[in-house]
Amino acid sequence: MKQYQKNLLRAPRIFFLIFIYAISFSMLLTGVKFFHPSEAETPSKIQENIADNIIRLHVIANSDTETDQLLKLKVRDGIIGQLQESIANTEAVSDAERLLASQENTIKKSALDIVADNGFNYPVSVSLEKKYFPVKSYGDLVFPAGNYKALCVKIGNAKGRNWWCVLFPSLCFVDETYAVVPENSKEKLKAALSDEEYKSLIKPPMDTENSQDSHISIDSAIYGWLCGKYKSICS
C-alpha cells in the first residue's frame, strides 16, 4: 500500500520532468536555428555565389617602372577591345568561361604583339585561375573581397602593380572616372544571382543633403594622398 502511494506521488513529478525536458529540447532546437542561420544567408556564402557567376580580368605588369606600367595598360586595352564584344554576347558564366578557354592562345598572341610593338621582348602567360581580389567598385556596384575566377595575363616577371576588372558580365572600364554599368550586364547579374546576392552589390546612395563641399575636398585630398603613397590601390 505504501509503495503504491509512493508511486502515485511520483507520477506527477515524472510527467512534470518530461514536460520540462520537452520544452527545453524545443528551445534548444529554436536556439540552434536562430544562432546558426542557413548557410546561404552568410556573407561568405553570398560572396561565393557571386564569385561563381562572374569572371575577372587580371593584368600584371613586369615591374613598377613607368614604361612597364604604361605597357600594362596598353595590353589591358588590347585585351578588352579584343574580348568585350564576344563576351558581351554570352549569356551565362559557363559560356564565357568556355569562350575564354578557347581563346587563350589568341589572347596571348595579341598581348605578345602589343609588347613587341612597344619595343619589349617580355614573355606573356595567359591562364584562367582562382585569384584573391580586394573590395572593388564598378559604377554603382561593389564586389566583396574574396576568391574569384580570373583571366590572368602576366607580363614578363609579373612583379609590378596589377589592374583588374569584371570581364563577365562586362564591367571593364578603360576610363573608370565616369563609368556607368551597362544595363545588360546588370540584367545578367540579376538573372544569375538571388535577390539578396544582387542587392548586396548595390552601393548605398550618398547622403548629399548633409554633405559639404569641404568634406568632398578633404576626401579627395585623402584619396590623392593614399594613391601617392600606396599606388596599388589606384592601379
Residues paired with 164 in a beta bridge? 58
Cell numbers found for residue 112: 605578345
Q: What is the pLDDT of residue 173?
A: 64
The angle at the Cα of 169, spanning 148 to 205, to the nearest 5 degrees, equals 90
Q: What is the pLDDT of residue 226?
A: 45
Q: What is the pLDDT of residue 14?
A: 53
| Three-class secondary structure of residue 53 per DSSP | coil
Q: What is the pLDDT of residue 49?
A: 92
The pTM for the full model equals: 0.67
Distance between CA 41 and CA 143 in Å, rounded? 17
Neighbour tally for 80: CB within 10 Å: 18
Q: Which residues of the chain have pLDDT under 70?
A: 1-41, 173-180, 205-235
Q: What is the DSSP letter of 52?
A: T
**CB-based contact 159:62 (threshold 8 Å):** yes
Distance between CA 4 and CA 176 in Å, rounded? 87
Mind listing the pLDDT tens digit for each residue in 106-127?
Answer: 999 999 999 999 999 999 999 9
Q: What is the pLDDT of residue 85?
A: 84
Distance between CA 230 and CA 217 in Å, rounded? 20
Distance between CA 56 and CA 59 in Å, rounded? 10
Q: What is the pLDDT of residue 149?
A: 95
The angle at the Cα of 34, spanning 19 to 40, to the nearest 5 degrees, equals 140
Q: What is the pLDDT of residue 12?
A: 55
| Three-class secondary structure of residue 93 per DSSP | helix
Among 87, 26, 71, 61, which Cα is nearest to 231's?
Answer: 61
Q: What is the pLDDT of residue 3?
A: 52
Q: What is the pLDDT of residue 216?
A: 35
Distance between CA 191 and CA 185 in Å, rounded? 10
